[in-house]
Structure formats: structure tokens, C-alpha cells
Chain A
Amino acid sequence: EDQVTQSPEALRLQEGESSSLNCSYTVSGLRGLFWYRQDPGKGPEFLFTLYSAGEEKEKERLKATLTKKESFLHITAPKPEDSATYLCAVQANQAGTALIFGKGTTLSVSS
């Protein structure tokens, strides 16, 4: 069964304290791995898509990397406005275009 597990469930950081969020996946052939940001009461906001092991994408303070078993979302020098829930999702070959989501990591950044 295709599965996505994110850790930690919650992460508290001080402003400027860099860290990484983990997404490990088990799928029957990966078509793509997606990172989203979700603010309370809102829909997920697209951040990155990664397609193959070794690929990296960057956007401002965020950098996503991908291996054959997991993806990391690195947050460099976070600011309070980076506080949100970060969702990882995979698209598997046998699942067509449907996304399988993890439970997310809730990040809180304090100043």
C-alpha cells in the first residue's frame, strides 16, 4: 500500500534557527513528490515538485531534496511568517494523478 509518513509532527524553532522536515514514502513507482504549505483554515499552497532522486528545488528560505526513500524540506534562517503546516504528497504510478498526503509537520517559528 502506498504510504507517506512525515516527521516530526510538530517543530518549534527560534527565528534564524535552521532545521529540516522529513517525508518518507513507500510507493509502487514514484511519479512525483510534492511539498505544500497549509495555513490554518486554508487550502494547501504549492511549493515544489520533485521527480527523481538527487533532484533539488529552492524557493527563498526553503530547499527540497529527494532520495529514493525520502524527501527533506530544509528551512534556512526561518522567520515567524514561515509558521504553517508543511504537507508532503506523492503521486504513484498505480494511483494515476491522485496525490497521497502525509499528515504534515506543523512548524512554529518564534521571534
Chain B
Amino acid sequence: EPEVTQTPSHQVTQMGQEVILRCVPISNHLYFYWYRQILGQKVEFLVSFYNNEISEKSEIFDDQFSVERPDGSNFTLKIRSTKLEDSAMYFCASSEGSRYGYTFGSGTRLTVV
């Protein structure tokens, strides 16, 4: 069964450093997403990406964050100048269409120290 692949599975970074989280969505999917889940809290929407541009973003997705689809397969989330409160599980997801169920990856656990 096709799956969304995320790397790394766990990343530890120092406060103020930049991190790049990587995702390979399912190949025929058109919509790509990043969500995050702080320990013990709800899964929260960050950003959606369609047709090579951001289609929606939440209030969380401020100038500290950016997304890119550098080639036909990868989808990345960059977090500049990380803060302690950025520590969370970050999930990438993709879907065939806007009303289809998403397929989520297994996540990257980001720990900012």
C-alpha cells in the first residue's frame, strides 16, 4: 500500500537553529499538508500546498515557517530560528483531492533544547 515517508523520525536541535523536515508524499496525490501535534494536545493544521503554492495556512504558520516542493517527489517544512515551543510531532500528509481522506506519514518528532 502506498505510504507517505517522513525523515528524520526524530530530530534534536538547539534553540535558534534552523531545521528542515522532509516528506515524500504519495506519487499521484495532488494536495500536501503539514500538521503538528504537541504532546498531549490536538493535531493542528499548519499549511496546505496545491499546484506548487500554499493554498491555506493557519495562524501558527507565521514567518518562521516555510514550505517547498523542490522537485517532483519531496515536500519540505523549514522552521527558522527554532523555539522551545516548537517541540512537537510534525506530520506530513497528502491526498488525491480536497474531499478525500488524507494519508499521514509516521511523523518527525522535533525536540528543541
Contacts and interface: CB of A to CB of B under 8 A. Distances in A.
Contacts, number: 65
Interface string B93-109: 10100111111111101
Interface stretch (A42-50, A65-73, A74-82): A42-50
A32 B102 CA distance: 12
- Interface size for chain A: under 10, 10 to 19, 20 to 34, or 35 or more residues? 20 to 34
A97 B31 contact: yes
Contacts of B93: 43
From DSSP, what is the main secondary structure of chain B's interface residues?
strand
Contact of A44 (B44, B56, B95, B104): B104
Interface residues of B, number: 28
A34 B105 contact: no
A91 interface: yes
7 contacts: A43-B4, A43-B93, A51-B99, A97-B48, A98-B58, A99-B102, A101-B43
Nearest to B50: A97
